[in-house]
Structure formats: C-alpha cells, structure tokens
Structure 1
Amino acid sequence: MNVLPASRRAAYPPPTGPRVAIVHEWLEHYAGSERVLEQLVLMYPDAAVFAIVDFMPPDQRAFLGGRPVETTFIQELPFARRYFRYYLGLMPVAVEQLDLSGFDLVISSNHAVAKGVITGPDQVHVCYVHSPMRYAWDMQAAYLRHGGMERGIKGLYARWLLHRMRNWDVRSAAGVDVFVANSTYIARRIRKVYRREAEVVYPPVDIDRFHEKDQPSRAAYVVISRMVPYKRIDLVVEAFRRMPQHVLHVAGEGPERERIEAVAKGAPNIIFRGRVSDAEVLSMMQDARAFVFAAEEDFGIAMVEAQACGTPLIVFGRGGACDIVRDGDDPEGPTGVFFEVQEADAIIAAVERFEAMRTRITAAACRANARRFSCDAFRRSMFAVVEQAMRDACPRHLGVAR
C-alpha cells in the first residue's frame, strides 16, 4: 500500500529495496534538527518525508530536493503558521494519524512527538533523539517560570498538559525499536526517562565551512551566542571583567543583552559586537585565542565549529561538551579545558589553566578532533545503526542502507 496521494507518487520512484519513511518534528526554519533531516534525505533519496507541519520558507528548503512533505491536520488549523506550538496537546494525536503502513523502515527525528508514530511488528522504527521533551521533564520548572505560568489558571493548565505529555511520551517510547542519541548526555537522559539504552551518533556538522586561517591573531577570547539566560554569558563577562589583562569579544543578540552589558560595567577589555554575519562568525572563530562556552547543551555544534577553525575551547564540563573537548592528558592531544561549576571564579581558574598549557593545544589537534563530527561520519554511523537494526528485526530487510 502506498500512503502518498496519487498526484504525488511520481515523486518517489519504485524502490529497489525496503521502503523508507522519515518523520521530522516540524519544518519552520533550517536549524540544528534540519541538518539531521538533510543528511537522512541524502542517505535515503527515495524516502518519503512526514512532519507535523511544514511552514519552511522557500529559500530554506533546497535541502529537501523538491520532495513533498506529508503533514498532519494541524497544518490546516487556525493560525497554525504562526502559533502551531500552541497545539502541543494535539500533536500526539496528530502524529499517530500518519499512515506509515506501506514502509519497512521508519526513521524519526525527535525532540517532541515524532517518535510517537505507530508502526507494526514487521516494521523497524529507529528514533534519532535530539532530546526528550525538556520542558515536560527536568526543565519543567524553568519552562513554567520563564513563561510566567508558575501560578494561576494558566499554570494549572500547563502542569496538567505536561503531565499528560509525560505519560504519552513514556508510552510511545515502547514503539521504538532502536534509540539513537546525539550525545552520551542525551543517552543518559533517554535511560532516565524511557529506561532504554541508546546508541550514540553525533549530529552532522559542516566542518568544511569552518577552516583554519593561515596566520590567526589568537589575541582575544570569544563568545558567540544568543543572549538568553541558560547560556550564562553573564558569568563569562563577569569573569573577564575581573581579568583586565585578557580581551573578550562577545557576539550575539537576545533579551539578556542589556543585563549582560550591565555586568561588564564598561570594562574596556570586553567588546560587544552585537549581531554578526556568518563571515564575521568565521573570522572571529579563526582568530580567537579560545572559544568560551558556559552553557549546558545537549550537544553544542558551535563548539565543534570552533574546533574546525583550529581554535581551543574553554567550556562548562557538562552535557554534550564532554563528548567534544579533549582535556588534559588525552593521548591524541588536548583541545581545550573544562570548568566544573557555572561560576565566574571557575571560569577564571579555567582561563589560567588554559594559559599555562596553551602551547600544548595545537590547531592540528583541534581540527582533527572536529572531523569526528563531520557529515560523512554521521552518515557512516547512522548506516551502521540502521543496518544492525534491520538485521536484528528480519534478514529480508538486509541492504536497506546501501
């Protein structure tokens, strides 16, 4: 059975092997999860693509290669183009209505509900997890606080909805045959939330777009980030305010900018660059003495991009950073240093440690480290995981990944 409308079937040539469906969360802008979708589409050029909604602008959808995207009823709901996230409570129902019965392999790219698609006993479901729903699990309190929903009727409704989402999230995990996490940190979250083990396949990073400069200045430390609370740029600025001998360039915009500039108290060694172009981001990373990162991220693509420029890292030693940075006495050569607590004093100590060992961190080691996270590495690892999943499920499915 072909689940696509007759008018669209011509877009998918008759398959020579098992049929593949890719289920993406939603298409709005080309961002981190869309990088994964782009690589999955390259891996399986005949795959059908499904999503909750598709509002991707025409100038950002070239990576889809002109293929149609099958969406759910939420696409047609009032004001969905701008406010589809407000339909979160309907998304479990919507994703369960996708008819995937004509496919042998289903790959979902999940950070909310995509893994909830319904599959049968002769289908293999591999779920790539960017993160379990953080706002429904360990980040619920911060989510409610940030949204001003700690009290009142709105808060009561939000807590009830998130409780229902947690119940559904755990139940729908039973339909996944193989979980794939984008970092060991997310693998631990999957184990905690779903009580399931996960393979780790790092997300694809276009490291060829970031490269070494022939003669980088390596004069100033650099922060490039959206200015939101969890990024903790305020701590980095406070640390460098107390280290006037070191120059810090801060690039990015966001609701925290005014508060962060106040933390700097006009320190002449801290330079705020505001919003910068892609070319300026590349130049800043190439010339940086070190790239400073104080957030706890699920992975942290910006850290890999800095390493691809041959630039060392000074980062908070939690989350995805632990998979990226080679610290201390690593036999392949250190590529940065960690600080263990989100405090200005810890950042100051990390900078001092970095300065003491700076000559041991080479641009070549940083660049070699970044290659572990290339697009080619992602595709090879995902192919291996999918082939093993198909082999474990049924020998007739062998060869799907080639």
Structure 2
Amino acid sequence: MKVAIVHEWLDTYAGSERVVEQLIAEWPEADLFAVCDFLPEAERGFLRGKPVTTSFIQRLPFARKHFRKFLGLMPLAIEQLDLSGYDLVLSSSHAVAKGVLTGPGQLHVSYVHSPMRYAWDLQHQYLREAGLERGIMGAYTRWLLHRMRMWDRASALGPDVLIGNSTYIAERIRKVWRRDALVVHPPVDVDRFALKAEKEGFYLVASRMVPYKRIELIAAAFARMPDRRLVVVGDGPNAPRVREAASGAANIELRGRVSNEELVRLTQSARAAIFAAEEDFGIATVEAQACGTPVIAFGKGGARDIVREGETGLFFAEQAAEAIIDAVGRFEAMSIDPTACRANAERFGHAAFRAAMRRVVEEARA
C-alpha cells in the first residue's frame, strides 16, 4: 500500500506538526507533501529525513516570510499536488490540506484540527483584531474569506473519512460542512510530564498571551483573592492587559517565558492549573493532568473531552473573574487524587493516537 501524508505548511514544530510526527511513526513508508516547507533545519528531526514535495507557492517571491499572505492561492496550490499514485492519503488539515484531489480507488482520511475559524464564525473578530473592518483591504479580505468559505465547504466533500481532534471540533465540522466526523484526540507527549504527587501552594497559568486565552480574567480574579498565589508563565501581544489586571497584586507572579525544564517543574508543582480559553482541544490541559495536577477550566470546547469533573478537576461556566473565584473556592473544598489525573492523561499518549488512527484506516479500508 502506497501512503501519502499531506500537511498544510511546514514552518515550525508545533501542535499540528506533532500529529504529522506520529503519522510518520505509524506509516514510516509514507511520502510527505505540503503547500510549502520553510522548516528550520534544527526542527526537522521529526520528519525522519523525508523529502517534502511542495507546491508552486514554495517558489513565489517573499514566500519564506509571507507565505500566509498567499492564502487565496492555496486552494489552487493544494489541488496541484499529484497524489494519483497512492492508495492511502492522510491529510492533516486546519486550512486547505483536506482539499487534495483523490480518485475512486483511493482512500482519503483527513485529520481536521479545525475548520478555518477566521473564515467562519470568527471572521468578524479576525477583521477587528487585524484592523480590517473598513477600507479597500478590508473589503478585499471580506471577499477573499467569502471565496474561501465556498471552497472550504465544497472541498470538505472530498475526504472519505473526516476526523475531528475533539468532540467540539466534530460539532464545528457538522455545523459548517454538514458532515459527520469521528473523534481521535491529538497525541500528547505525556511521558515528558512525569507524575508528582506532592504539590505546592500556588496556582498556575502557562500559555501564549493572546486575546482568546483570556489570561487577564484569571489575573483579575486572583487580584481579588490576595491570600491565594498565582504564577503566570508566557508572553505575547496581550501581555500588557495581563500586567494591567495583575497590577498591585503581590500574590501574582508574572514569570514571562521560561525554559521547558522550568515549565515542567512548575506544572508538576502547581496546586492546580487554570485555563480560561475556549480551546479546540487543549494540549497544555493534558500535560497538567499528566503531572498529576488538577485542572480548573472554562467548561466549553476541548476541555470537556479532557477533564473528568469532580475526579480530575472542575469547570466554570462563564469567562468572568467571578466565575473563576467561585471555581477556586469549589476546588479547595474538593479532594483530587494526583494518580487519577495521571491515569486520565494517559488516554492521550502517542501510542493511543497511533492505534486509533490505524484502526480508523483499517475499518475504512474494510
């Protein structure tokens, strides 16, 4: 069986690339395709030396730094990749990878990280944050996203099997593409985050500081709980709002970026990790559980697939400081076993992901 793995683009080793890494581990004979490949040499180890077949976007002027600006050309680019010689096509898609062309004798299984949120339900937020609500560029961007929505829904008919990375994403697939999707949770390196049963007294937030993470809400909540210590790890464009929310609160420590080793140590030692975002899945949530650390999370999105309420953590219903304060109070009245958190996290390990993907392919072939 000839196998092809298709990824969106390669420019960094992040969440979706970890899926590709495990697909390569399960199908080491596969050939690899992408719209473009600008991955630094130091981050290419997960590709196992595989060459990457790319599209014409690879050769466009300024593509190395600005390939995302060619989004309007990517549907055409992905359709030009010749996969006619393959029996099995596995696409890893958060934008256009699912749109590769396959024929009747081929099986196409598409692992969907998310439909293009900036083209669908988050279009208005995207335009607002990008300063594109008005003017010629704003009008062009609206037209482009309209065209992308039409192509996105049409191309969603191509894969034989769609897989969402969480129940939440499967629901989004059903909403925007009107197709059912299986759920296979993404692989998490739970072995890197060892169990530590002895906890310290602080709560932890570890995240990129971008608006949808709502870290300023957590800081505002702890500013009103001076007897409880909060450690905030991370940096990003929303950092000024976080600093403002934490201003004058001696119980809040803003650590900025830390090493991977320090991140693991903090995650292992925290009394609980807190997440206020509506995530597609939430790998950091699993990592906290792998350390035996309970999770206090906003009760929408991928967190509902991860946290077992009352057993490994709990949810709060609103993205509001008052809801977080209430959740911390409820958490401190609970008793959560760190070993239960660790056992819960092991559901999301590398081996579990590869076995689930192999099972989906074999059932689809049968």
Bucket of the pairwise TM-score, normalised by the shorter protein: over 0.9
2:122 counterpart residue number: 139
2:356 counterpart residue number: 381
2:47 counterpart residue number: 64
Q: Distance in 2 between matches of 1:198 and 1:255?
A: 34
Q: Distance in 1 between matches of 2:351 and 2:309?
A: 25
Q: Distance in 1 between matches of 2:16 and 2:91?
A: 11
Cα-to-partner distance string for 1:16-49 (whole Å, 9 max, x where unaligned)? xx11110000000000000000000011111010
Q: Distance in 2 between matches of 1:134 and 1:377?
A: 27
1:254 Cα deviation after fit: 1.0
Q: Distance in 1 between matches of 2:275 and 2:3?
A: 38
Aligned-partner residue type, residue 314 of structure 2: V
2:30 counterpart residue number: 47
Cα-to-partner distance string for 1:254-291 (whole Å, 9 max, x where unaligned)? 11212211111211100111111101100110110000
Cα-to-partner distance string for 1:298-325 (whole Å, 9 max, x where unaligned)? 0000000000000000000010000000
Q: Distance in 2 between matches of 1:227 and 1:175?
A: 36
Structure 1 segment 248-259 matched on structure 2, within 5 A? 248-259=230-241
Asked if 1:94 corresponds to 2:94, the answer is no
Q: Distance in 1 between matches of 2:47 and 2:188?
A: 18
1:350 counterpart residue number: 327
Q: Distance in 1 between matches of 2:27 and 2:187?
A: 16
| Residue 369 of structure 1, aligned match among 339, 344, 350 | 344
1:241 counterpart residue number: 223
Asked if 1:171 corresponds to 2:154, the answer is yes
Q: TM-score of the superposition, structure 2-length normalised?
A: 0.99
Structure 1 segment 142-157 matched on structure 2, within 5 A? 142-157=125-140
Q: Distance in 1 between matches of 2:119 and 2:238?
A: 24
| 1:93 match: secondary structure | helix
1:399 counterpart residue number: none
| 1:160 match: secondary structure | helix
Q: Distance in 1 between matches of 2:235 and 2:156?
A: 37
Asked if 1:180 corresponds to 2:155, the answer is no
CA contact (8 A) 2:120 2:149 kept: yes
Asked if 1:36 corresponds to 2:13, the answer is no
Asked if 1:22 corresponds to 2:28, the answer is no
Aligned-partner residue type, residue 260 of structure 1: V
1:78 counterpart residue number: 61
Aligned-partner residue type, residue 387 of structure 1: E
1:213 Cα deviation after fit: 2.8
Asked if 1:115 corresponds to 2:92, the answer is no
Asked if 1:390 corresponds to 2:356, the answer is no
2:312 counterpart residue number: 335
Structure 1 segment 217-296 matched on structure 2, within 5 A? 217-296=199-278
| 1:180 match: secondary structure | strand
Aligned-partner residue type, residue 109 of structure 1: S
1:8 counterpart residue number: none
Q: Which stretches in structure 1 are left out of the alignment for 5+ residues?
A: 1-17, 329-333, 392-402
After the TM superposition, list the runs of 4 or more consecutive aligned residues in structure 1 that deviate by more than 3 angstroms: none
Cα-to-partner distance string for 1:53-90 (whole Å, 9 max, x where unaligned)? 00011110111111100000000000000000000000
Q: Distance in 1 between matches of 2:237 and 2:163?
A: 34
| 2:82 match: secondary structure | coil
| Residue 307 of structure 2, aligned match among 321, 325, 344 | 325
Q: Distance in 2 between matches of 1:70 and 1:320?
A: 33
Q: Distance in 2 between matches of 1:309 and 1:237?
A: 23
Aligned-partner residue type, residue 388 of structure 1: E
Q: Which has the larger radius of gyration?
A: 1
Q: TM-score of the superposition, structure 1-length normalised?
A: 0.90
| 1:61 match: secondary structure | helix
1:119 Cα deviation after fit: 0.4
Q: Distance in 2 between matches of 1:54 and 1:141?
A: 30
1:377 Cα deviation after fit: 0.4
Aligned-partner residue type, residue 288 of structure 1: A
Q: Distance in 1 between matches of 2:124 and 2:364?
A: 37
Identity %: 64
Structure 1 segment 295-334 matched on structure 2, within 5 A? 295-328=277-310, 334=311
Q: Distance in 2 between matches of 1:266 and 1:278?
A: 28
Q: CA RMSD in A?
A: 0.7
Q: Distance in 2 between matches of 1:87 and 1:168?
A: 15
1:218 Cα deviation after fit: 2.3
Aligned-partner residue type, residue 82 of structure 1: K
Q: Which stretches in structure 2 are left out of the alignment for 5+ residues?
A: none
Cα-to-partner distance string for 1:139-179 (whole Å, 9 max, x where unaligned)? 10111011100011111000000000000001111111000
> How many residue pairs end up in the alignment?
366
1:225 Cα deviation after fit: 0.8
Aligned-partner residue type, residue 350 of structure 1: A
Q: Distance in 2 between matches of 1:179 and 1:43?
A: 18
